[in-house]
Amino acid sequence: MKYGVATFVTDEGIRPDVLGKALEERGFDSMFLAEHSHIPASRETPYPGGGELPRPYYRTLDPFVALTAAGAATTNLLLATGIALLPQRDLIHTAKEVASVDLLSGGRFVFGVGVGWNREEMRNHGTEPRTRGALMDEELEALNLIWTQDVAEYHGRFINFDPIYAWPKPVQKPHPPIYIGGESEAALNRVLKFGDGWLPRAGTPAEELRRVRQWLADHGRPGMPFTVFGAGRDPGELDGYVEAEVERAAFMLDTLPEAETLTELDKLAELGRRYS
C-alpha cells in the first residue's frame, strides 16, 4: 500500500514547496490539499467533525497555487486536491487550472473532488446546496469535453456554454485521474459513472471498502483504485485497508510550523513503510 498525506496548507504552517520536498525525500508518494475559498461568519452549518471548526479551515491557501509551488520543488510526488469543492467553482477556470498544474508538473496531478458540506459557503458562490450533486455531475461531464476536445460545448440544466477553445490540455490522457470523495449512495453512483478512483474518508470500515469494490466490479468497473483520505495511525485500521486492497493511505497531517511538521513526517514515514 502506498502512503501520502492529506492536509491543510495555510499561512501559519509549513510552506507547500518545503512540505512537498520533505514528503518526496521520505518516500511519500502524494500530497492531497484541502480547499475552502472562505468560511462564512454565520457558521450555521455544523462542522461534520463536531465541535468548533478547526483554525486551518479559515486560513487555507488556494490548493492549485500551493500544488504548483510543491510541484516546482519535487520530481515524482503526486499533486492532488483533497478535495476541490467543484460545485462552488467556476467550471472553465477550473478546467484551465487543472490542465495547467498537470502540464507544469509533467503529468502528476490528481483531481480529488467532492460536493462539500458548508451550505453558506456554497450559497456565497451562487450554488444551491440542494442541487449541488446534480450540478457536479454536469461539471464532470463538461470538464471531460473541455480537456479532450479542441472545440467543446455543453448544454445542460446547470452548465451551459456554446463552442469554446480552451488550452492547455492536460498532459495525462484523456485527463488527470478524477478521485471522487464521499460515501453516500449518490457519491458512489458518481464514482461509478465519472470516477477514476474513490476517495473515502478515514473511518470507512474495511467491510464497506470491500463491498464497494465488489459493487463496482459487478457494474463493470473492476480494479478501481481507492485512497483513504485522512487516514489515522491505528494498526488495525491500516491492516484492514491492506486487506481491502486500498491503493493508498493519505495520512492526516496536522497544520504545524516547519520544524514540527518535519518531525511528524518522520514518524508517519516510518509507519507508512510498514505497509508499503
Query: So where are the chain's domains?
Result: 2-273
Sheet holding 227-231, edge to edge: 197-199, 178-181, 109-114, 78-85, 30-33, 2-7, 248-253, 227-231
CA angle 24–67–115, rounded 5-degree value? 120
Number of Cβ atoms within 10 Å of the Cβ of 272: 24
Residues 94-139 pLDDT 10s: 999 999 999 999 999 999 999 999 999 999 999 999 999 999 999 9
Fold of 2-273: TIM Barrel (3.20.20)
Q: Are strands 152-155 and 160-164 parallel, antiparallel or unpaired?
A: antiparallel
CB environment 92-107: b (16+ within 10 A), e (fewer): bebbbbbbbbbbbbee
Average pLDDT, the chain: 97
Dihedral of CA atoms 251, 252, 256, 261 in degrees, nearest 10, equals: -10
| Residue ranges in 46-184 assigned as alpha helix (H) | 63-72, 91-104, 119-124, 132-148
Q: Which helix (H) or strand (E) holds 208?
A: helix 206-218
pLDDT score of 43:
85
Q: Is 262 helix (H, G, I), strand (E, B) or coil?
A: helix
Rounded CA-CA distance 194/214 in Å is 17
Residues 135-177 pLDDT 10s: 999 999 999 999 999 999 999 999 999 999 999 999 999 999 9
Exposure of 63 in the CB half-sphere (CA atoms within 13 A): 28
CB environment 35-52: b (16+ within 10 A), e (fewer): bbeeeeeeeebeeeeeee
Rounded CA-CA distance 49/46 in Å is 8
Q: Is the pLDDT confidence value at 203 over 90? A: yes
Q: Is the pLDDT confidence value at 266 over 90? A: yes
pTM score over 0.95: yes
Q: Is 216 helix (H, G, I), strand (E, B) or coil?
A: helix
Q: Is 198 helix (H, G, I), strand (E, B) or coil?
A: strand
Dihedral of CA atoms 73, 13, 34, 269 in degrees, nearest 10, equals: 70
184-202: average pLDDT: 98
15-38: average pLDDT: 98
- Residue keyed to cell 455543453: 154
Q: Is 64 helix (H, G, I), strand (E, B) or coil?
A: helix
